[in-house]
Structure 1
Amino acid sequence: MNGAATRAIDSPTPGLHDEWGLVAALRLGDEAAFLALVKRYHGAMVRIARMYLRSDATAEDAVQEAWLGVLKGIDDFEGRASVKSWIFRITAYCAKGRSVREGRFVPLSSLEEDGDDGPAVAPERFQPEGARYANNWSQPPQPWADERLAAVETAALARAEIERLPVRQRTVMTLRDVEGLDSDEVCAILGISEGNQRVLLHRARSKVRAALEQHLEKGGRP
């Protein structure tokens, strides 16, 4: 085993032992390790690429290019970021490059591309201007028991609602709430500001929560 692979396995970073093991195996040419990474991250990579590209087919092409980049760059990976974040950043780079070559690059900082500049929460849920408690909740979100949120059908609804979001909101929410990346990682991967990331995430979460509220108000029935 080469020195780089040994350092990877011995990495003390909490929570990354399995990923580091895959990196070490990949450096040794282990095909199973590559397939494990593909299974784990391919879907999220396509969602990232789709932010920059106009079709699923071109997004898939960009992801294939990204996987080649992962294989070529694995020996130089120093672990300054998580394996996941590193792979996603390569994906964004490849997707941006392809969109530039196709003459279709649109900066992600442009929120107008979502066609969604309205309020994240319906205005009628707040006290009106002039009221004693203006701009406070008139219809606050309902507290939910953990067991209701954990229900299989509720989780399925949440996934479905995330897929219905505008592409930029969907990708930011997926990276933050599904993949577990922090805001700095998401901003670095997507090349957007903290402010834009925060707005996109807030809008996405508000829409998904509204859908879940309606579902749970019906007793969890479809």
Structure 2
Amino acid sequence: MSTNESQLAGSPSRQGPPDIESGLIAGLRRGEESAFETLLQRHHTSLVRLARVWVRDASAAEEVAQETWLAVVQGIHAFEGRSPLQSWIFGILANKAKRRGTRESRSRPFSAYDSDADRDDLRGMSPDRFVPPGEEWAGHWTYPLADEESCPERHVLAEEAGGFILRQIDELPGRYRSVMLLRDVHGLTADETCAILGISAANQRVILHRARTRLRITLEPYLREGANCVEQLG
């Protein structure tokens, strides 16, 4: 396990549900296949998705994910439990994917993904549509994307929207995609995300805000169309 991986394993952070997480850790240390299968089902797809930020294609991302699982099994006895298991796993993945990307000569510094085009895409979104800095939900949208009236049709729309959202996240630039996956899809803290990606807190905030803004710009027309379909069915 690399130095960065060891630091992530020992960094102070929030804890997941102690009974579930400690049970998984104990199971992994005993070599229980069921514990490994549980983690595989929870995180494998997301590991592959995150690896695509740095490597050339889906096949390479799958290989990196497999290497990550091998490192998890081999390194679980060194895991100190002072950070969530999920954060530790994603940290291993990020380190391996970055190294693989460097070998492929396709990796750039994280900050190099910034461009004027990114900012141009966001100029049509008013800042008052986001909770301001200093508030509990800073950076989140101030009101829903669509009417959340409860009915069966809207639940179907919500399920379809979930898949659409993930597909749209996959289309984001790499730096946006990685931060949004860690923060909004998997619920990691800002500190954990910064440690995994090697970025500053200020950079993380800017990237996350821009990622959320770009995603909302894409989602609003889609969800309005879905809501109109529901109304027509009604």
User: Higher helix share goes to which structure?
Assistant: 2
Q: Which residue of 2 aligns with 1:78?
A: 80
Unaligned residue ranges in structure 1 (runs of 5+):
1-12, 127-139
Q: Which residue of 1 aligns with 2:186?
A: 179
Provide the secondary structure at the position in 2 that maps to 1:78: coil
Residue 103 (structure 1) shift = 3.3
| Alignment check: 8 A CA contact 2:54 2:174 kept | no
Residue 176 (structure 1) shift = 0.8
Residue 106 (structure 1) shift = 1.4
Residue 86 (structure 1) shift = 0.3
- Give the fraction of aligned pairs with identical amino acids, expressed as a percent: 44
Q: Deviations over 1:160-218 (max 9, x none)?
A: 32232223212211111110111111111111222222222112211222233223444
TM-score, normalised with respect to structure 2: 0.73
Q: Deviations over 1:61-104 (max 9, x none)?
A: 11111111111110111011100000000111111222233333
Q: Is residue 2:188 matched to residue 1:164?
A: no
**Which gives a bigger RCO, structure 1 or 2 (Cα 8 Å, sep 6+)?**
2
Residue 145 (structure 1) shift = 4.0
Structure 1 or 2, whichever has the larger Rg, is: 1
CA–CA distance in structure 1, aligned partners of residues 115 and 20 of structure 2: 38
How many residues of Structure 1 are paired with residues of Structure 2 in the alignment? 197
Q: Is residue 2:206 matched to residue 1:204?
A: no
Q: How does 1:73-112 map to 2 (within 5 A)?
A: 73-112=75-114
Residue 42 (structure 1) shift = 0.9
Correspondent of 2:200 among 193, 201, 207: 193
Q: Is residue 2:57 matched to residue 1:55?
A: yes
Provide the secondary structure at the position in 2 that maps to 1:118: helix
